Structures are given as structure tokens and as C-alpha cells.
Chain A
């Protein structure tokens, strides 16, 4: 297992956001986490990224505990987060945004290589390198956020609702990109509201409900389960 989450509990002051969540990801997989607003999806990602503290349980990455080690250390271990709402640096150029993603890579040649791969994946970004990131379209900003997340050459890349606020005709492209990233050998943890699309590219999936895992299994099986059909697909 690349990532093993064992019975974690996370709370904001008195309010418990995750009660008792366990989850595991094998190397090379895409694992989707689905659930309604407030079910704890983003909290889960932020806990893995060490942006939030665990009250109980532990998180193992490559069999080493990474719970509460501090956000900057998590990146060094090889986990990168593409945050919700993009969180790009709007006043910095596209290139500066990408280079910030390579913060953990001190080696110039590795940085150049990573940049090359990202231009390859997103030719549009290469055309706009000197443009301020804030002037990009919503879709391009999301691509930039993804590219920036890849710059640290993570083993695990986590996406927090990558299709949020993207023009509907661009949404399929986002999922294509995620699939491509997996084919390049990066393991993916995907939090999404577009259940159908997410399930189609995912190997396994977890359904969260009010801070607990309600269902887990192979993505294909879950897509056919009554709970998913009723609650998320409206069938």
C-alpha cells in the first residue's frame, strides 16, 4: 500500500468532521472519494496534507507515519495537493507559479525536466508562461494548479474537486488529464462531485457520509450500487 489511513478522527474545535475514517491506496491506482457537501471530503485531503491535525488515528505513507508532521514536510515525502478553488498565485506569472511548485526540488536539471513534462501535458501553459496567472481562464487556471502540483514530482497527487467552477465542456478534459497523469506513474486521490466521470476513471472509490465511510469498493461495483444510483446519480 502506498497510503494507509487508519481510523482517523479530525475535528474543528468541538465539531467533528471525520469520525473514524480508514482508507488505503495502492500504487498506480486512482481512488475517488465521493460524498455530499460537508461529508468530510476536503477535510480528509487536508488531513493527509497535514494542513489539519489528527485527533486520533494515523496516516502511513510508504509505511511511515505522516500524520501531523507539518504541511511542508508532507510535500517532501512525495505527496502533493491540488487545492479546491485552484488557489493559484494570481499576481505571479504562470512560470513563477510552476517554479513555486518545484520548491522541494533543489536540483536545477530536475526542475527543467519537470517543467518540460508539464509543457508536454499542457501546451497552453507554455504559450502563456509570462502571463499573470490571474488572467488565465478558469480551465487554464485549473491546469496550472495541476501542473504546479506535479512540479514537486509527487508519488501521490491529490485533487480537491478539480472540476469545480470549470466550463462544462472542459470538464471531460480535466478527467482525461488525470487519467494521463496516472499513466505517467503518479498515484491519484480524487475528490469529486461529478460522480459518473470520476467513477469511470477510478479503480476504487469511497463514499463519505457525515464524516464516516458509508461504502467502499471497486468503482465499477459502486457505480451499480443502489446507494450511489439513488443518492448521486438520481436514478
Chain B
């Protein structure tokens, strides 16, 4: 694809997403798009660590949940606007990610995956039993007036649509910048061959922590949005293992380590899971997960680079 075509396609896609609410303004359509963007954001956050740097985490729901809980608790207890609460949310998530990362990054690949999974479950259980933050009952966020500073909009979902779209765009630019920068270059070197990277003078432990921190920050912001969008959170909805798995799956399905992979993954998996639930109802519970499984097997067998591999047949270099 030539440069001009890229700009034309990119511009067209941007225009379509921006104009979408003007054409399809039914709550159902908007809700679906909001979910797709939210999961795309999660996938992109995961991808910084799991894709670009090659450190597969199955515990990213932790940062999603912490982002959601910190901002919600600050709002419920002190009445702090979620826009401000987002910052301590990110800070706490990053700190926890570094505490998790420091020992876990010493482990080899598979053991790292298992360790992140365990940490995720431990934190899930802690929150289930932590009465001060609502325990298993969860937190209802207070209903406030519709306003941007309250991060609440009751008449229409359109503002939520644009907020999550802006978050996603920012993260797309951030990821594109990382990929072109020296930082992205080191991430790739660590992914390809960590020992070789170290013997060239790259402080692998440090750069993995950087990737972890950026990844956790993005995931945490998505958590804040989720809490504000639904106005209710409980441990199973923000800390569940399945969330961590989904972040990983949609990045792998779309094409991990590529910029657009997680977005493509979200555009396929989220409608799939929403519609399968709708059509099959209660009896269809878990069908979407079975389809995920089948898709992942197919991807692993036929297109290990992810669906994006179908769009860009082999680069020359």
C-alpha cells in the first residue's frame, strides 16, 4: 500500500467513526461500538507488553479493576471527579504493575504467564472479600447530573462514544510513536531474543518494566471508563480471569505486535460475543468462548501473525 492510500484509508476510517453516531444513533448500535472501542483499548494496552515486548500476561484484568475501583472509591467517598480520579487510578495501577513485574520478569516465558495469572486471581479474591470497597456486593456509583466534568451522560450514549473513541485514538498514536521510537526498537529486541539484547547492553529488566507500566496505565484508564459507563462495578465484572484472557485473545486474533491487530480483533470478537449471547440467550452461555477457542486454533494453525497477516501479505524486507 502506498503512503497516499494509507492516508486516504485512515482518513476515511476516522471520518466514518466520527460520523457514526450521526447515522446510527440507536442505543444498541452505540453500545456495541462503545464496547468494541473499549476492548480495542484493552487489547492495545495489553499489546504494549504482550505484543511489542513479547511478555504475555494473563493478569491484566488487575489494572482494569484497579482503575475502576480507585476512581469509583474516590468518587463515592470524597466526591472526586473521575477525570481527576483517573490519575491516582493510573498511578496505583502502574505501581502495582511494577511490584508484580519485578519478581515475575525474572521468570521464563511460561512461568511468567502463570505468575501473572496467579496474581490476577489473588487480587480478584482480595477484592471479593474486602468489605471496605464493597466486597462481593460491589459499588454503585452515585447518579449525578449530566455533565462532562461528572463523566455522566444520561440522555444519550453519544458522549461516551466520543470519549472512548478519543482514548482509543490517543493510544493508537502513542503505540505508533512507540513502534517508531528507540523504545519500540528495544522492546522488539527483547521480544526476539532477550539474551542477545542483554549482551548488547540493553537493560532488559528495565525496559520490560517500562512496557509493563505503559500497558498497565492504558488498561487502568479503560477501567475508569468502564466504571463510569456502567455506574456499577463488582469484582467479577472487572477482575475476572476471562477479561484478562479476552485482552490477550483479541490481540492475538487480530495480530499481536502490530498496531491495528487488537482493533481488528475487537471488531470481530465483540460483535461475535454480543450477538451469540443475544441469539442463544441463557442456554447459549459460553458459546462465544467456544467460538473464541476455535478461532484461536485456526489462527495458530493458518495465520500465526493474526488476521492482520491476511491484509499485509509478507513484507519485502
Query: Is A215 interfacial (CB 8 A cutoff)?
Result: no
CB pair B198 A132 closer than 8 Å: no
> Is A88's CB within 8 Å of the partner chain B?
yes
Residue B193 interfacial (CB < 8 Å): yes
Q: Any chain B CB within 8 A of the CB of A197?
A: no
Measured CB to CB, the closest approach of chain A to B186, in angstroms, equals 8
A-B contacts counted at CB < 8 A amount to 62
Assuming the contacts A75-B200, A76-B201, A87-B196, asked whether A100 and B189 have C-beta atoms less than 8 A apart, the reply is: yes
CB of A83 within 8 A of CB of B199, answer yes
* Residues of A close to B185: CB separation below 8 A: 96, 99-100
Contact between B196 and A103, CB atoms less than 8 A apart: no
A152 touches B196 (CB 8 A): no
A89 to B202, CA, bound (A): 14
Contact with B along A114-136 (1 / 0, CB 8 A): 00000000000000001110000
- Contact A132 B201, CB 8 Å, known A83-B195, A83-B196, A89-B188: no
Report, as a range, how many residues of chain A touch the other chain: 20 to 34
Cα distance A110–B317 in the bound complex, in angstroms: 26
Min CB distance, A160 to chain B, in Å? 10
Chain A residues with CB under 8 Å of B188's CB are 89, 92
Assess whether B197 is interfacial by the CB under 8 Å rule.
yes
Residues 79-106 of chain A: 1 if any B CB is under 8 Å from the residue's CB, otherwise 0?
Answer: 0110100011111110010011101100
Q: Which one of B195, B197, B203, B317 has the highest number of Cβ atoms from chain A below 10 Å of its Cβ?
A: B317
Within 8 A of B (CB), among A156-187: none
Does B278 touch A at the CB level, under 8 Å?
no
A148 within 8 A of B: yes
Are A75 and B192 in touch, CB under 8 angstroms? no
| B316 cross-chain contacts in A, Cβ below 8 A | 130
**A72-B192 in contact given A93-B317, A131-B317 (Cβ < 8 Å):** no
- Roughly how many angstroms separate A152 CA and B200 CA in the complex, as a whole number? 8
Asked whether A87 lies within 8 Å of B193 as measured between CB atoms, the reply is: yes
Instruction: Please tell me if A71 contacts chain B, counting CB pairs below 8 Å.
Output: yes
Question: Could you tell me the distance in whole angstroms from the C-beta of B181 to the nearest C-beta in chain A?
Answer: 13
Contact assessment for A91 and B196 in the assembled complex, using a CB-CB cutoff below 8 Å? no
Which of B192, B195, B200 lies in contact with A92, CB distance below 8 A?
B192
Once bound together, how far apart are the Cα atoms of A1 and B288, in whole Å?
A: 67
Q: Which residue of chain A is the closest to B315 with respect to CB atoms?
A: A132
Query: Contact: A75 with B317, CB < 8 Å?
Result: no
Question: Is the C-beta of A223 less than 8 angstroms from some C-beta in chain B?
Answer: no
Bound CA span A89–B193, Å:
7
Is A100's CB under 8 angstroms from B200's CB? yes
Interface flags, B171-209, vs A, CB<8A=1, else 0? 000000000000001101100110111111111100000
Complex formed: what's the CA distance from A1 to B252 in Å? 52
List B contacts of A152 (CB < 8 A).
Answer: 200-201
User: Which residues of chain B come closer than 8 Å to A132, judged between CB atoms?
Assistant: 317
Question: Taking CB as reference atom, which chain A residue is nearest B188?
Answer: A92
B198 contacts across to A, CB distance below 8 A: 51, 71-72
Which residues of A, 59-79, contact B by the 8 Å Cβ criterion? 70-72, 74-76
Considering the chains assembled together, what is the distance between the CA atoms of A49 and B200 in angstroms?
10
Bound-state CA distance A93–B316 (Å) is: 11
User: What chain B residues lie within 8 Å of A130 (beta carbons)?
Assistant: 316-317
B317 touching A103 by the CB < 8 A rule? no
By a CB distance below 8 angstroms, the chain A residues around B201 are: 71-72, 74-76, 103-104, 152
List chain B residues, Cβ under 8 A from A80: 199-200
Q: Is the CB of B197 within 8 A of A100?
A: yes
B199 touches A89 (CB 8 A): no
Q: Is the CB of A103 within 8 A of B202?
A: yes
- How far, in whole Å, are A132 and B188 apart by their CA atoms in the complex? 14
A21–B201 alpha-carbon span in the complex (Å): 25
Is A101 touching B200 in the complex (CB atoms < 8 A)? yes
Q: Is the CB of A70 within 8 A of B196?
A: no
A100-B197 Cα distance, complex, nearest whole Å: 8
Does B199 contact A75, Cβ atoms closer than 8 Å? yes
Q: In the assembly, what is the distance between CA of A71 and CA of B197, in Å?
A: 10
A100 and B182 CA atoms in complex are apart in Å by 9
Q: Which A residues lie within 8 Å of B317 (CB)?
A: 93, 130-132
A148's closest neighbor in chain B, by CB? B200
Question: Is A103 touching B200 in the complex (CB atoms < 8 A)?
Answer: yes
A selection of 10 A-B contacts at a CB cut-off of 8 Å is: A49-B199, A51-B199, A72-B203, A90-B192, A100-B189, A103-B201, A103-B202, A104-B201, A132-B317, A152-B201
Interface of A toward B, CB cutoff 8 Å: 49, 51, 70-72, 74-76, 80-81, 83, 87-93, 96, 99-101, 103-104, 130-132, 148, 152
> Nearest 5 CB-CB pairs, A to B?
A75-B201, A87-B196, A72-B203, A71-B198, A89-B192
